[in-house]
Amino acid sequence: MKKLFFSVFLVVILVAGFGKSMKAQSLYFCEDVDESGSPKNPSSTFNIPSAGGYFYFLVKLPYAINCSYVNYKIYKVDYSGSETYNTTINQDGMSNNWTWFYKKVTFYETGTYKIYLKDCNGETLTSETVQINLQ
């Protein structure tokens, strides 16, 4: 009986976890965004010139944002994995019913960066890491 209960419990956990991942918020880093909201040349590593270089942050949500702005909190990650606050980039002028949006962002320094997307209520929607190298 315990084995049956444990098996059912595992199946429920796996199904619940799979369903959740199907509706996850996503933050992509890409060279451009097409008119349907698909990333062009997405990557987690970008090579920039010494004068700086840009790419796009593309956010895709399984629901309407219901906010007029979001913030991208950017932290630099050192070799040990510790995060140091770098800057905040605001994106305003959004429509409450948007399910995807993007922002052109320029970087001037190499390194590993962790980006946290915060909604207008200060809630973290998603986060991702990007590596910036010199060309």
Taking only the tens place, the pLDDT of each residue in 4-18 is: 444 444 333 333 443
Residue 22 tokens, joined: 């199907």
Q: What is the pLDDT of residue 23?
A: 58
- Structure confidence at residue 21 (pLDDT): 39
pLDDT tens digit sequence for 60-111: 999 999 999 999 999 999 999 999 999 999 999 999 999 999 999 999 999 9
What are the structure tokens assigned to 48, written together?
Answer: 């920039």
Using CB atoms within 10 Å of the CB of residue 53, give its burial: 0 to 12 exposed, 13 to 18 middle, 19+ buried. middle
CA distance 31 to 130: 13
Query: pLDDT exceeding 90 applies to what percent of the chain?
Result: 81
pLDDT of residue 5: 42
The whole-number pLDDT of residue 104 equals 98
> In the prediction, which pLDDT does 37 show?
96
Q: State percent of the chain over pLDDT 70.
A: 83
Distance in angstroms (rounded) separating the CA atoms of residues 113 and 85: 10
pLDDT value at residue 6: 43
Between 3.40.50.360, 1.20.1260.10, 3.40.50.2300, 2.60.40.1930, what CATH number should domain 27-134 receive?
A: 2.60.40.1930
Give the distance, in angstroms, between the CA of residue 90 and the centroid of all CA atoms in the same chain. Answer: 14
Beta bridge partners of 117: 72, 126
CA distances from 64 to 91, 92, 95 (A): 16, 15, 9
Neighbours of 35 (CB within 10 A): 5
Task: Give the pLDDT of residue 18.
Answer: 39
